[in-house]
Amino acid sequence: MAKPISVAEDIVPLNEFKANASKMLRHLHNSHRPLVITQNGKPSAVVLTPAEFDALSYRSRFIASVEAGLRDADAGRTMSTDEARKRIKREFPE
């Protein structure tokens, strides 16, 4: 997961990012921290490495799946181990 941002180093105005994009992207990869781009003094975008984006996306999907499973369990949409084995054998015969 990405490290927390450094306010002094990881928040840059759009014009500075445009002028130094290559340098900023090297910093992004070396620091493993997100880069916050501001426009008119307000946060406008966050730049992440592809690996950090993938990790964040995976984590989000994983949490959503766990939450869906917990909702199913709370609603009583469960089955016993024997029922699950029978269903798996029916759906995936050897």
Give me the domain span that covers residue 20: 1-48
Between CA 80 and CA 20 the distance in angstroms is 59
Q: What was the pLDDT predicted at 8? A: 84
Q: What was the pLDDT predicted at 53? A: 93
Clarify whether residues 90 and 63 are in a common domain: yes
- Confidence (pTM): 0.70
Q: What is the CATH number of the domain that holds 8?
A: 3.40.1620.10
Between CA 70 and CA 40 the distance in angstroms is 43
Q: Is residue 21 very low, low, confident or very high in pLDDT (cuts 50, 70, 90)?
A: very high
Q: How many folded domains does the chain comprise? A: 2
Clarify whether residues 58 and 40 are in a common domain: no
Between CA 9 and CA 87 the distance in angstroms is 55
Clarify whether residues 57 and 80 are in a common domain: yes
Between CA 86 and CA 91 the distance in angstroms is 9
Between CA 1 and CA 84 the distance in angstroms is 34
